[in-house]
Homo-oligomer: A and B are copies of this chain.
Amino acid sequence: MMTAELFPIEPWHVRETAFEMGLIAETESLFALSNGHIGMRGNLEEGEPHGLPGTYLNGFYETRPLPYAESGFSYPEDGQSVVDVTNGKVMRLLVDDEPFDVRYGQLHEHERVLDMRAGTLNRLVRWMSPAGKQVLIRSTRLVSLAQRSVAAIEYRVQAIDQFARVTVQSELVANEDQPERSGDPRVAAVLRDPLVAVHHETTERGAVLLHRTRESGLMLAAAMDHEVDVPGRVEVGAEAREDVARTTVICGLRAGQELRIVKYIAYGWSSLRSRPALRDQVAGAIAGARYTGWQGLLDAQRKFLDEFWDSADVEVEGDPECQQAVRFGLFHVLQASARAEQRAIPGKGLTGTGYDGHAFWDTEGFVLPVLTYTAPKAAADALRWRASTLDLARERAAELDLEGAAFPWRTIHGEECSAYWPAGTAAWHVNADIAMAFERYRVVTGDDSLEAECGLAVLVETARLWCSLGHYDRHGVWHLDGVTGPDEYTALVRDNVFTNLMAMHNLRTAAEACERHPEKADELGVTPQEIAGWRKAADAANIPYDEDLGVHEQCAGFTTMREWNFTDNTSYPLLMHEPYVRLYPSQVIKQADLVLAMHWRSHAFTPEQMARNLDYYERRTTRDSSLSACTQAVMCAAVGHLELAHEYTYEAAMIDLRDLHHNTEDGLHMASLAGAWTALVAGFGGLRDDEGVLDLDPQLPSGIHRLRFRLRWRGFRLTVDANHENVTYTLRDGPDAKLTIRHAGTPLEVSTTSPSTVAVRPRTALLPPPQQPPGREPIRRSALQ
């Protein structure tokens, strides 16, 4: 159990106060370090015990055949799986002749701290060997946000009470043994020893290993070098073989003396570059890191994070757990994206092998909204990655006999890797989610250049996709049939409201973007007739509404489908206990779908519709997806159920810090972690931007007495500081001294000269708080404390 005792609540740190073997895999995920290019799970330096050993490079994957007992046309043949690359974290320690291992001897103290301002993972161990020798081990680890190819570890060993001979074996290890994760022997075979040795060499105090994957044809270089600092005599030797390189440091320490080693690690990979080029690339990165030095890396790390927090931090007074959790979420979202530089942001970041390391709609739908307001450069790079896969998406659309581009439901490199099309290919909304992310980036940053550079082509090709997917019935109504919306418990439906609203937005946004960039649109072959067709389809799209009940139908006919029997089916997640053939035709919802539409396309609903819709869908939503709670938080806040919103916020925020979905071991849930920010800022802050205006409308639940958050808007930095009575807007920087925002639905001019304080608009709920399905009430904060 991840209790508050073991993991005390602190505003800027995640601290584990004792080593808990049963949580080893979970803490490896929590303590993962990444810069978006390199990801290192929080494995112990000594290599074992481990839950899941993991070092990942963004975009580095192996392909494997996707098996089908009954195949079908256009089913993807190859999957892509993230690969555990050469592990540079390993630093084995021998005290006299006994290996340090937390499972042997006596562990007098074991603490690990993730420092979210320093960007480091710190470890402190007091250990007595089985022979009675006591040592103090302190390590600090970082994956550099400033030097993209570099990670480093400061490793210190001190003899406490008597002389000890100390040996440190610092290693690069390729093809680490992995725990068995898949029942499919072919998958396991591919991912066992995925790396073929290409080259190995030693340097004076380090080594370089080069490997390549068998099928995907990617080459990888890993290098290490060391600085050693110790009083007295020390011997340092280096050796390298195909799958392991080792630098051995031996010295004697008298009581109180310390051995300090700084290990510099560098990674590079390429699908194109030659063996010498890659080798030199990592050697150069090592040289750069040594030139900067350990303290220089630490300083640059803090500087990078100081700048981030200055325009990203969220302060939550009254709820220390949410305070910690929202920073934890922001920190990991930044880690997943900061230096990804035109690579994907996977659903689990670079913190584990969950979802095979694939990126989903989570990126554009849940992670990029946060980054767009807090780290827009990272958001732009993620969008550039998506745009770089446009040709693959065009090919996929052509394969499916469609116009335009069809982006993949799940992928690493850009090809569709989803082997279950009803919840993959048919979830076309991913295309509109991508389009929305481009448009939000433009609206929020005020920067048209990304649209000109690559966004326009994405908007045009996705609009074309929608036009060829949709059709007019003989009454002139435009339908999208056979689609799957966000709710994966209902699939292949007519006119999913979320999908139709998003497609309408995609079509209209593409039309407007073409008018902003007429020459580029012309190059893409867009004609005025085509643009008119997009607008006509958007205007004619069907939005199913049940007049009897006064609620929108999640899809056509939804509200007359069978009600799910929530009384007898109480094993969650339902998908592990009930077949799709039963779930699909029932009014049972995996995750916010219609409710998400009310968040993302808020202006399409009246306040009364929102209240009734929320009430209707809350009762039928199981929240079996980690993407749901944050959206429910936002919309519960919007309709005035502030206490319920607070519970959902807590659930979204604590998903990994308390392992609520029991799979934190596979990696962190980036979208839900981003969702903690969204729940606070869009929920209690009332942030909306779907009308192109910065719309704020704070109101706090009783348990939070002050919420202060920062965001970027068109070159400005804005701080929003709300309590139960009023809200203060403080504007910094910016192209002009003034900015017009909307507060509580009314235009408000704020200025860099002085803060503006206005009264909060009280929200009155039109309906009582809704019930959830039995057993699916949000996790009460009190229950976990």
Contacts from A to B (Cβ < 8 Å):
66-70, 72-74, 79, 184, 186, 399-402, 418-422, 425-426, 471, 473-475, 477, 479, 481-483, 491-492, 494, 548, 556-557, 560-563, 569, 575-582, 584-586
Q: A418 to B580, alpha carbons, bound, how many Å?
A: 14
Given contacts A492-B584, A579-B74, A579-B425, contact A471 B562 (CB under 8 A): yes
The docked-state distance in angstroms from the alpha carbon of A338 to that of B735 is: 89
* Alpha-carbon gap, A720 to B494, bound state (A): 49
Residues of B within 8 A of A586 (CB): 481
How long is the Cα–Cα vector from A479 to B475 in the complex, in angstroms? 25
B-chain residues with CB within 8 Å of residue A475 when the two chains form the complex: 560
A73 to B581, CA, bound (A): 10
Contact A73:B482 (CB < 8 A) given known A471-B562, A581-B421: no
> Do A401 and B562 contact each other (CB < 8 Å), given the known contacts A70-B420, A419-B69?
no
List B contacts of A186 (CB < 8 A). Answer: 67, 186
Most chain B Cβ neighbours within 10 Å, of A73, A475, A556:
A73
Contacts of A419 in B (CB 8 A): 68-70
Q: Are A474 and B418 in contact (CB under 8 A)?
A: no
By the criterion CB–CB under 8 Å, are A426 and B492 in contact?
no
**A560 partner residues in chain B, CB cutoff 8 A:** 473-475, 477, 479
Would you call A400 and B72 a contact (CB within 8 A)? no
Given A421-B580, A481-B562, A557-B494, also A575-B73 (CB < 8 A): yes
Chain B residue with Cβ nearest A490: B482
> Are B70 and A67 touching (Cβ within 8 A)?
no
Taken together as a complex, chains A and B put the C-alpha atoms of A491 and B426 apart, in Å, by 13
Bound CA–CA A69/B184 (angstroms): 9
> In the complex, which residues of chain B have a beta carbon less than 8 angstroms from the beta carbon of A578?
73, 401
Residues of B within 8 A of A556 (CB): 557
What 20 new A-B contacts, CB under 8 Å, besides A69-B419, A401-B582, A473-B561? A67-B186, A68-B69, A68-B419, A70-B418, A73-B575, A73-B576, A73-B577, A74-B579, A74-B581, A400-B581, A402-B582, A471-B562, A479-B560, A481-B586, A482-B585, A483-B585, A491-B492, A492-B585, A494-B557, A556-B557
Of B72, B477, B557, B575, which is within 8 A of A575 by CB?
B72
* Nearest-CB residue, chain B, relative to A579: B74
* Cβ–Cβ < 8 Å partners of A73 in chain B: 575-580
Chain B residues with CB below 8 A from A79, complex form: 69
Residue of B70, B402, B420, B481 touching A72 (CB-CB under 8 A): B420
Contact status A481-B579, CB under 8 Å: no
The complex places the Cα of A474 from the Cα of B548 at a distance, in Å, of: 10
* A400 pairs with B561, CB closer than 8 A: no
The complex places the Cα of A621 from the Cα of B258 at a distance, in Å, of 82
The docked-state distance in angstroms from the alpha carbon of A561 to that of B473 is 7
Residues of B within 8 A of A561 (CB): 471, 473, 479, 481
18 inter-chain pairs at a CB distance below 8 angstroms, sorted by A residue, are A67-B184, A67-B186, A72-B579, A73-B579, A74-B579, A186-B186, A400-B579, A400-B582, A422-B422, A471-B561, A471-B563, A473-B560, A481-B557, A481-B562, A483-B585, A492-B492, A492-B585, A556-B557
| Residue contact B482 to A581, C-beta cutoff 8 Å | yes
Q: Choose among A402, A477, A561, A580 the residue with the greatest number of B CB atoms under 10 Å from its CB.
A: A580
Whole-angstrom distance between the alpha carbons of A580 and B422 in the complex? 9
**Residues from chain B with Cβ under 8 Å of A491 in the complex:** 492
A410 to B492, CA, bound (A): 24
CA distance A471 to B587 in the complex (A): 12
Complex Cα distance, B494 from A402, in Å, reads 26
Partner of A68, one of B67, B492, B579: B67
Q: Which of A494, A576, A577 has the most CB of B within 10 A?
A: A494
Residue of B nearest to A410 (CB): B70
Q: Which residues of B contact A582 (CB under 8 A)?
A: 400-402, 482
Residues of chain B lying within 8 A (CB to CB) of residue A473: 560-561
In this complex, what residue of B is CB-closest to A481?
Answer: B585
Q: How far is the CB of A645 from chain B (nearest CB, A)?
A: 30
What are the residues of chain B within 8 A of A482 when measuring CB–CB?
A: 581-582, 584-585
The interface residues of chain B lying within 8 Å CB-to-CB of A477 are: 560
Which B-chain residue is minimally distant from A582 (CB atoms)? B401
Q: Give chain B residues whose Cβ lies under 8 Å from the Cβ of A420.
A: 69-70, 72
Q: How far is the CA of A760 from the CA of B640 in the complex (A)?
A: 76
Q: Chain B: which residue is nearest A79 at the CB level?
A: B69
Instruction: Point out the residues of chain B lying under 8 angstroms from A479, CB to CB.
Output: 560-562
* Bound Cα distance A474, B186 (Å): 49
Nearest B residue to A561 via CB reads B481
- How distant is A415 from chain B, measured CB to nearest CB, in Å? 14
Shortest beta-carbon distance from A39 to chain B in Å: 24
Which residues of chain B have C-beta atoms less than 8 A from A584's C-beta? 482, 492
Highest count of chain B CB atoms <10 Å: which of A69, A419, A471: A69
Q: Write the nearest CB–CB distance from A538 to chain B, whole angstroms.
A: 18
